[in-house]
Amino acid sequence: MAHDTTVLVLGGGSTGCGIARDLAIRGVDVTLVERGNLTGGTTGRMHGLLHSGGRYAVSDQASATECIEENEILRNIASHCVEETGGLFVQRPEDSDEYFREKLAGCRDCGIPATVLSGREAREIEPYLAEDVARAIQVPDGAVDPFRLCVANALDAERHGARVETHAEVIDLLREGDDIYGVEVRHDSGPGKRTHATPGTTEEITAEYVVNATGAWAGRIGAMADLDIAVRPSKGVMTIMNVRQVDTVINRCRPKGDADIIVPHETTAILGTTDEEVDDPDDYPEEQWEVDQMIDTLAELVPIIEDARTIRSFWGVRPLYEPPGTGTQDPTDITRDFFLLDHDERDGVGGMSSIVGGKFTTYRAMAEEIADHVCAKLGVDARCVTAEEPLPGSEDIAVLEEGMDSFGLRSPIARRSKQRLGSRAPDVLETNENEANPVICQCEGVTRAEIQDAVEQSGSDLNAVRIRTRASMGNCQGGFCCQNMANELHPRYDEQTVRDALDELFQERWKGQRHALWGEQLSQAMLNYALHATTMNRDNDPANAPAQVDYAQFDGGA
Amino acid sequence: MAITDDVLVIGGGLAGATAALAAAETAPDARVRLVTAKQSTLRHASGLIDVLGYAPGSEGQEQGQGQKQKPIVDPFAELDTLPTGHPYERVGGEAVRDALEFFDDIAGDAYAGGHTDKNALVPTHGGTVKPTARYPAATADGLASDDRDALLVGFETLPDFEAPLAAAHIESAGAPFDARGVTLSFPGIVRDDAKVTRYAHLLDRDERVQSPGGSVNGEIGAREALAAAVESHLEGEPRVGFPAILGDDRPAAVRESLADALGVDVFEIPMGPPSLPGLRLEDLLYAELEDAGVRVTSGVPVVDYEAADGRIDHVVVDRNGAEIPHEAAQYVLATGGLVGKGIESGRERVSEPLFDCHVPHASDRYNWFVDDVFGEQPYARFGLAPDRELRPLDSTDDPEFRNLRAAGAVLGGYDYAAEKSGAGVSLATGYVAGTRAGEESV
Ligand SMILES: Cc1cc2nc3c(=O)[nH]c(=O)nc-3n(C[C@H](O)[C@H](O)[C@H](O)COP(=O)(O)OP(=O)(O)OC[C@H]3O[C@@H](n4cnc5c(N)ncnc54)[C@H](O)[C@@H]3O)c2cc1C
Ligand SMILES: Cc1cc2nc3c(=O)[nH]c(=O)nc-3n(C[C@H](O)[C@H](O)[C@H](O)COP(=O)(O)OP(=O)(O)OC[C@H]3O[C@@H](n4cnc5c(N)ncnc54)[C@H](O)[C@@H]3O)c2cc1C
């Protein structure tokens, strides 16, 4: 039977995109389907810590070793997505000395470079650390942008011939007897790039082999073919501060706990996180106490956080898994390792494997192992090269280091554009050499050329533009720039499409701010609301119900 | 030694300025002082004077798409239907009319709309249209409730306003005319990120710029160059709209030059921050304050107060670290809302930071909002609850101080963004608070 594609990957998170890229480079014909935007699942809702492995150096040394190996690889192949911030495990007076020693020894056992600093030395690096921080272990933690990294994998997969379909939800697995041979998807607005207000369609995609990389949702996919995959989704909260109170990743040096990491991320710092099992990865409570706990507990490490401005909070769900019969009670004790479930071996149903568990930091190694497995099944004999081949944007480090003003932009903006785009900067910014290139998002310094490049990739979906550019992710949370971003869709897209795209982005930006509505951010919310409702009347836009307005009744001028 | 006045107004936005002017008019012999910390909300605001565009909803209700309301044609006819506690209900419909008349006198030719009770529908830079009661003269030819065709002109370096999109949107909104948009490059703008004041000053001063035809000997005035750039795009439309950047100090002259050169009417579409029409209104008010003899102390915050026997004895102004007592017989608090910082909040509570007047609000901060961004947002109604004299009330409904009134966005019980009532409430309450303070000060 002829198949539409050789391998069909379900899920456009880091795992799915990593697998698609790996297979595509090996010459395998791949299709990837994702129900929302790329990173729409857990990958877009994580803490952004590129683990050194230090966190697992006592509890799980296999993971720790894998982390440091992958950490070093990503610094090379994804340099434009990684900020080498370094990290500190800080000890407060009440934290145990014994654990501190174990942590240090664990790091050394796993090959994680680790240096002990006195409290004073630690405060020289991070002046806002609490006065009573006793000492710290310095490790090579980093910050990673999951959006750009994931998109770069998908882009590279496409460059190698893959088909990537976003807004394509799997609604059924095609199974005949003991063989899974494809899926049925529902395209939100037809296949190809998303365009708002285009009617949806369904499509059957057949494949020689299906890889289920839907993370916390893997159980739902399995159920479509009567397979039992016991994923235990566990939620965690993250709270975003408006500035970087720290430039180094700050971890609390104690066995395990909530609210124990601060990651500096671009213009912000992100506090996290918690670990609590939930029933439904699409519908779980997002609660006030979780946000309060982040601030109160992490203020023990960095006291100024207590009164600082937070711009939003968000939650993610870990796709935790343990083999049947393990029976761990506390989700924090469930292994962070990943599992490859070959449903042929496990359930006697051929044609599909599922991947569950794991970490973002080790996505590449996971993808390699899975791609090896799939290639073995297909009889493909090609070596994995993803540990050496840079991702698009990171190919040529010299490009990143060019003069800052070469694009006629204010220097800090040029620098930020280049950091985001990496070696793609000339391609993206030079295409518009003779056209104006004003700043569209002031908070993050994103210019028209970058927005247009993202629209090129992702259609009328402004959330997809956002994750590619960071536009609307700064202090104003889109209040001042959502409108400008939407303007950039025109005339490529018509007025109705632009209006729908704007409404969707604005509502999405509001969602996370609800958890930061006090102090400066509440004032910002009122300003944003006034701008959109008072100045623009977007809340009662007659275009949404034009028949209701009889213009002739109103003042038509003196 | 304390500085002594009869009336002291705290906060120099639209409400404070109106209160000071009303006090000075009511009590010509009184010494009136205005103390204000920073620039007011007017730099954000569009410069339109909304009175009431939509009937207020009830707090906490989620308003879904599709249940949109009709704009109100005659705002003055609706004033008596407002719920108890709404600032307009507090001062009464007649006072709102008086306040608008007071404003019309102050604004003179700079504003239009006073010829009728009806709202006008004005295009916004987002392409929607909104109901408003008074609009700057610069916008008078741009009404969407005027059925003449219009050409909208945007600039490639001003990403806030995409003229062809706005034109299409205005048509989707059902406006009774054909609208077209073009995007041009602005003569004389060389930087992609020039500030809006740069555009305005080019036109104010009619600076010499490269002529758009690129003629070799060609430097011409900025106004002529702009008109020349637009001219070839006109297809018989009798009016042309620009984003609100047509001059800062001499907007009327700029419009006139463009209109003469093009032979059509020229108008401005109000924009977001920083808003030149808002800043022009602020300039107008401050010139008026000077004429009225109001003593204005700006750039300094009021930081503290002393009270005795239920009255404020004096307030303390922080002038570069020096604490200067200011005493007066009557005080008006016009420090703005969440945006102007007259209302503040923390994780636990919402407060009025200067006198700690009572601000009604839910104790759980997750009840400060609803999930639909354009739903009936409780936070938008945060502010002081006054009696009919506009004296802020404490939690047991007694006046906090006998000689303190409040006006403008520091008041609660209304959502100016949803209702489109911001400037109207500031004018009405500023007018009433200032008048009463003037009366009682002597
Ligand atoms: C709170 C939190 C913090 C974390 N912090 C870190 C960290 O700092 N560092 C780190 O290394 N790791 C971190 N992780 C772990 C890491 O984020 C995840 O392990 C990783 O992102 C999982 O990627 P994934 O591709 O497997 O899953 P996902 O990103 O969830 O991808 C699965 C995709 O499948 C899609 N999908 C679901 N159903 C369907 C369907 N029916 N049809 C089509 N598509 C479908 C989803 O939309 C989703 O995009 C964190 C996790 C959480 C929850
Ligand atoms: C984005 C936006 C758009 C708007 N658009 C419109 C519109 O189109 N139409 C309309 O009718 N209305 C509009 N409004 C509403 C309107 O402009 C004002 O918000 C309203 O008039 C409130 O004015 P105010 O004088 O009460 O407060 P503000 O303008 O906020 O002024 C308060 C002043 O008090 C000062 N102050 C605060 N604390 C102290 C202190 N302790 N000591 C001394 N001074 C202090 C502040 O510095 C400020 O100058 C808009 C508002 C916003 C935010």
Q: Would you state the pLDDT for residue A322?
A: 80
Indicate the top mutation candidate among B286, B335, B357, B379 to test ligand 2's pocket, ranked by most ligand atoms within 8 A of CB: B335
Q: Would you state the pLDDT for residue A180?
A: 97
State how far residue A319 is from chain B, nearest Cα, in angstroms: 27
* Residue among B130, B134, B135, B169 nearest B417 (CA): B130
Give B345's strand partners: B350
Indicate if ligand 1 lies below 6 Å from the C-beta of A217.
yes
Q: Per the CB < 8 Å rule, is B192 touching A439?
A: yes
Q: Per the CB < 8 Å rule, is A537 touching B193?
A: no
pLDDT at A153 over 70: yes
Rounded Cα distance between A33 and A155, Å, is 14
Any A CB within 8 A of B178 CB: no
Q: Ligand 2 centroid to A415 CA: how many Å? A: 36
Q: What is the mean pLDDT of chain A?
A: 91
Give me the residues of B, 400-429, that contact A with CB < 8 A.
416-418, 420, 422
Any B CB within 8 A of A555 CB: yes
- Report the chain A residue with the minimal C-alpha distance to residue B274: A480
Q: Would you state the pLDDT for residue B304?
A: 97
Establish if A331 belongs to a structural domain.
Answer: no
Chain B residues touching residue A549 (CB < 8 angstroms): 70-71, 121, 129, 173-174
Indicate if ligand 2 lies below 6 Å from the C-beta of B257.
no
The verdict on A14 and A130 lying in the same domain is no
> What helix, strand, coil percent values describe chain A, rounded to 5?
40, 20, 40
Once rounded to an integer, what is the mean pLDDT over residues A390-411?
53
What ligand has the least distance to the C-alpha of A184? 1
* Residue among A194, A494, A193 nearest B162 (CA): A494
The verdict on A250 and A109 lying in the same domain is yes
Q: Ligand 1 centroid to A41 CA: how many Å? A: 5
pLDDT tens track for A187-211: 988 777 777 777 889 999 999 999 9
Q: Per the CB < 8 Å rule, is B162 touching A439?
A: no
Any B CB within 8 A of A408 CB: yes
- Alpha carbon distances (Å) from A197 to A461, A500, A504: 11, 8, 12
Residue type, A97: D
Asked if residue B438 lies in contact with residue B4, where contact means CB atoms within 8 angstroms, the answer is: no
Rounded Cα distance between B111 and B375, Å, is 32
In chain A, the N- to C-terminal Cα span, in Å, equals: 76
Any B CB within 8 A of A543 CB: yes
Q: Would you state the pLDDT for residue A214?
A: 97
pLDDT tens track for B117-133: 999 999 999 999 999 99
Indicate if ligand 2 lies below 6 Å from the C-beta of B426.
yes
Q: How far is CA A428 from the centre of its chain?
A: 22
Once rounded to an integer, what is the mean pLDDT over residues A257-277?
92
Q: Ligand 1 centroid to A483 CA: how many Å? A: 29
Enclosing domain of residue A13? 5-42+147-230+336-378
pLDDT tens track for A332-375: 777 778 899 999 999 999 999 999 988 999 999 999 999 999 99
Rounded Cα distance between B207 and B147, Å, is 35
Establish if A280 belongs to a structural domain.
Answer: yes
Residues found in chain B: 442
Indicate if ligand 2 lies below 6 Å from the C-beta of B44.
yes
pLDDT at A44 over 50: yes
Give the A:B interface size as CB pairs under 8 Å. Answer: 233
Least confident range from A155-159, A391-395, A482-486, B99-103: namely: A391-395
The verdict on A128 and A181 lying in the same domain is no
Q: Enumerate the H helices of B263-335 as residue ranges.
A: 276-291
Asked if residue A37 lies in contact with residue A467, where contact means CB atoms within 8 angstroms, the answer is: yes
The verdict on A177 and A214 lying in the same domain is yes
Indicate if ligand 2 lies below 6 Å from the C-beta of B53.
no
pLDDT tens track for B4-47: 999 999 999 999 999 999 999 999 999 999 999 977 888 889 99
Domain boundary pick from A378, A394, A411: A378
Asked if residue A36 lies in contact with residue A10, where contact means CB atoms within 8 angstroms, the answer is: no
Main-chain phi, psi angles of A31, to 5 degrees? -125, 135
Pairing type for strands A439-441 and A135-139 reads unpaired
The verdict on A152 and A22 lying in the same domain is yes
pLDDT at A252 over 80: yes
State how far residue B289 is from chain A, nearest Cα, in angstroms: 27
CB neighbours of residue A220 within 10 Å: 16
Q: Ligand 1 centroid to A300 CA: how many Å? A: 29
Better-predicted residue by pLDDT, A122 or A428: A122
Any B CB within 8 A of A438 CB: yes
Q: Would you state the pLDDT for residue A337?
A: 81
The verdict on A160 and A20 lying in the same domain is yes
Q: Shortest CB distance from B379 goes to which of A498, A522, A535?
A: A522
Q: Would you state the pLDDT for residue B348?
A: 92
State how far residue A508 is from chain B, nearest Cα, in angstroms: 9
Rounded Cα distance between B209 and B225, Å, is 7
Q: Ligand 2 centroid to B259 CA: how many Å? A: 33
Determine the number of helices (DSSP H) and then strands (DSSP E) in chain A.
Answer: 17, 22
Indicate if ligand 2 lies below 6 Å from the C-beta of B429.
no
pLDDT at A450 over 70: yes
Domain boundary pick from A287, A317, A347: A317
Burial grade of A225 (CB within 10 A; 0-12, 13-18, 19 or more): buried
The verdict on A546 and A511 lying in the same domain is yes
Indicate if ligand 1 lies below 6 Å from the C-beta of A33.
yes
The CATH number assigned to the domain holding A113 equals 3.30.9.10
* Residue among B294, B274, B277 nearest B286 (CA): B294
The verdict on A226 and A341 lying in the same domain is yes
Q: Would you state the pLDDT for residue B61?
A: 52
Once rounded to an integer, what is the mean pLDDT over residues A56-63?
92
- Alpha carbon distances (Å) from A234 to A38, A285, A286, A357: 21, 12, 13, 11
Q: DSSP letter for A535, please.
A: I
pLDDT at A87 over 60: yes
CB neighbour list of residue B75: distance below 8 Å, 6 or more residues apart: B51, B52, B53, B117, B119, B131, B133, B424
CB neighbour list of residue B201: distance below 8 Å, 6 or more residues apart: B207, B248
ipTM value:
0.96
pLDDT tens track for B282-309: 999 999 999 999 999 999 999 999 999 9
The verdict on A237 and A313 lying in the same domain is yes
Q: Ligand 1 centroid to A274 CA: how many Å? A: 16
Give me the residues of A, 499-538, that contact B with CB < 8 A.
499, 506-507, 510-511, 514, 517-519, 522-523, 525-527, 529-538
Q: Would you state the pLDDT for residue A412?
A: 54
Establish if A531 belongs to a structural domain.
Answer: yes
Instruction: Tell which atom from ligand 1 comes closest to the C-alpha of A235.
Output: 53
Q: Would you state the pLDDT for residue A330?
A: 79
CB neighbour list of residue B356: distance below 8 Å, 6 or more residues apart: none
What ligand has the least distance to the C-alpha of A149? 1
Residue type, B350: V
Once rounded to an integer, what is the mean pLDDT over residues B68-79?
91
Chain B residues touching residue A497 (CB < 8 angstroms): none
| Angle at A217 (CA atoms; ends A215, A223), nearest 5 degrees | 125
pLDDT at B177 over 90: yes
Q: Would you state the pLDDT for residue A327?
A: 78
Q: Whose CA is nearest to atom 19 of ligand 1?
A: A359
Indicate if ligand 2 lies below 6 Å from the C-beta of B10.
yes
User: Domain count of chain A?
Assistant: 3
Better-predicted residue by pLDDT, B259 or A405: B259
Q: Would you state the pLDDT for residue B64?
A: 46
Once rounded to an integer, what is the mean pLDDT over residues A166-171?
94
Contacts of range B309-314, beta carbons closer than 8 Å, 24 or more positions apart = B310/B399, B310/B401, B310/B402, B311/B401, B311/B402, B311/B403, B312/B355, B312/B401, B312/B403, B312/B404, B314/B2
Q: Shortest CB distance from A487 goes to which of B120, B147, B165?
A: B165
Q: Shortest CB distance from A507 goes to which of B131, B174, B373?
A: B373
> Could you tell me the strand order of the sheet in which A142-144 lies?
A49-50, A142-144, A82-83
Least confident range from A312-321, A452-461, A543-552, B100-109: namely: A543-552
Once rounded to an integer, what is the mean pLDDT over residues B166-182?
96
pLDDT tens track for B191-222: 888 889 999 999 999 999 987 665 555 789 99
State how far residue B245 is from chain A, nearest Cα, in angstroms: 16
Rounded Cα distance between B317 and B2, Å, is 10
Indicate if ligand 1 lies below 6 Å from the C-beta of A469.
no
The verdict on A293 and A177 lying in the same domain is no
Chain A residues touching residue B131 (CB < 8 angstroms): 537, 554
Rounded Cα distance between B210 and A371, Å, is 61
Establish if A402 belongs to a structural domain.
Answer: no
The verdict on A173 and A272 lying in the same domain is no
Establish if A414 belongs to a structural domain.
Answer: no
Q: Would you state the pLDDT for residue B212?
A: 64
Establish if A52 belongs to a structural domain.
Answer: no
Indicate if ligand 2 lies below 6 Å from the C-beta of B16.
yes
Q: Residue A506: helix, strand or coil by DSSP? A: helix
Better-predicted residue by pLDDT, B2 or A180: A180
Once rounded to an integer, what is the mean pLDDT over residues A456-469?
92
Q: Ligand 1 centroid to A43 CA: how many Å? A: 4
Any B CB within 8 A of A483 CB: yes
Domains and CATH numbers, chain B: 3-108+279-331+403-441 (3.50.50.60), 138-269 (3.40.50)
pLDDT band at A398; cut points 50, 70, 90: very low
Any A CB within 8 A of B347 CB: yes
* Residue among A338, A388, A416 nearest A145 (CA): A416
Establish if A108 belongs to a structural domain.
Answer: yes
Q: Shortest CB distance from B160 goes to which of A410, A484, A510?
A: A484
Any A CB within 8 A of B344 CB: yes
The verdict on A441 and A500 lying in the same domain is yes
State how far residue A558 is from chain B, nearest Cα, in angstroms: 7
Establish if A249 belongs to a structural domain.
Answer: yes
pLDDT band at A80; cut points 50, 70, 90: confident
Q: Would you state the pLDDT for residue B59?
A: 54
Once rounded to an integer, what is the mean pLDDT over residues B252-264?
97
Q: DSSP letter for B68, please.
A: P
Q: Would you state the pLDDT for residue A402?
A: 41
Asked if residue A420 lies in contact with residue A450, where contact means CB atoms within 8 angstroms, the answer is: yes
- Strand ranges in B254-349 using DSSP code E only, listed in sequence order: 265-269, 295-298, 302-308, 311-319, 322-327, 330-333, 344-345
